[in-house]
Amino acid sequence: MSDTTAAKIDGKALSKRLLKEVKGRSEACAAKGVTPCLAVVLVGEDPASKIYVRSKEKRAAKCGIATRDHRLPATTSTGDLLGLVDQLNKDPKVDGILVQLPLPEGVDSDAILLAIDPRKDVDGFHPENLGLLMLGRPRFVSCTPQGCMRLIAEAGVDLTGKRALVVGRSNIVGKPMAQLLLKANATVTIAHSRTVDLPRLVGEAEVLVAAVGRPNFIHGDWVRPGATIIDVGINRLEDGGIVGDVEFEGASERAAAITPVPGGVGPMTIACLLSNVVDAAERRAGISAS
């Protein structure tokens, strides 16, 4: 055992503060006659998606954000779903549209994400929003990477010139995460399933963001002493426990700061989603430009 233990970066506390701010901004919109509104589309019966959607809607209500709930059967066609998206795009009272992923196999997810009005794309998944992020002019930034950046700021880390490693290259987390770190002037590496010698890369990283979805994939003794670790993984073990992608105990002995799982990135994701909804509502209310 080393005599140092990493500070825990408390995502629960930070998300509470952010939600309070979102609520205040939402009330300011309402005072101008604009109730922020999120349309939530869930297709099929995926149990995890049902839980996520319910908690997003519950949180939204607590922040004064209205939700429109659209539940469709797993047999829904791409055409039918495109019809619903078109209707929501045209509805002036809807500020944000969230189509919960994954969609059932028969639905063309790319076509659906492309059809969402980029100005209502509070998930930040539309190619236009991803493109703006790549250009360094973000509009809607996807919620998990946005939450990670807020957690890094909370840890007091100045990313300028830092070596940052993102493990995972998904369109939802890994790729936008790398862009945000780059925008904050970090020197960024993206590792993935074909990367050679991951332990060496982890050992060099001053900031590590793990988003692979495999329990305890990053060994604690790979971690660079003094590193800041953001663990995006939420992995359920056979015994019912939940762990991240990083071996927490071992990593805590070497890192300066680390997010716990649960209680780290998870609570931030919903808070960032609702912050994006209020961003859109503020534009509608004329509170913010563009």
Contact between 100 and ligand GUN per CB under 6 A: yes
Residues touching ligand GUN, count (CB under 6 A): 6
- Residue 195 C-beta: closest distance to ligand GUN, Å: 24
Contact between 107 and ligand GUN per CB under 6 A: no
- Is residue 151 within 8 Å of residue 268, measured between CB atoms? yes
Please say if 100 is a catalytic residue.
yes
Contact between 123 and ligand GUN per CB under 6 A: yes
State the Cα–Cα distance between residues 164 and 178, nearest whole angstrom: 8
- Residue 253 C-beta: closest distance to ligand GUN, Å: 31
Q: Which amino acid is at 228?
A: T
Please say if 87 is a catalytic residue.
no
Q: Which residues contact 142 (CB under 8 A, 6 or more apart)?
A: 123, 124, 125, 172, 173, 176
Q: Per the residue annotation, which of 95, 100, 162, 279 is the catalytic one?
A: 100
Q: Per the residue annotation, which of 123, 231, 245, 279 is the catalytic one?
A: 123
Q: In 3D, which of 42, 46, 35 has the Cα closest to residue 84?
A: 42
- Structure tokens of 43? 């297709």
Contact between 114 and ligand GUN per CB under 6 A: no
Contact between 143 and ligand GUN per CB under 6 A: yes
State the Cα–Cα distance between residues 35 and 38, nearest whole angstrom: 10
Nearer to ligand GUN, 140 or 217 (CB): 140
Nearer to ligand GUN, 26 or 100 (CB): 100
- Structure tokens of 23? 């609520």
- Structure tokens of 163? 């070596």
Interface residues with ligand GUN (CB under 6 A) are 98-101, 123, 143
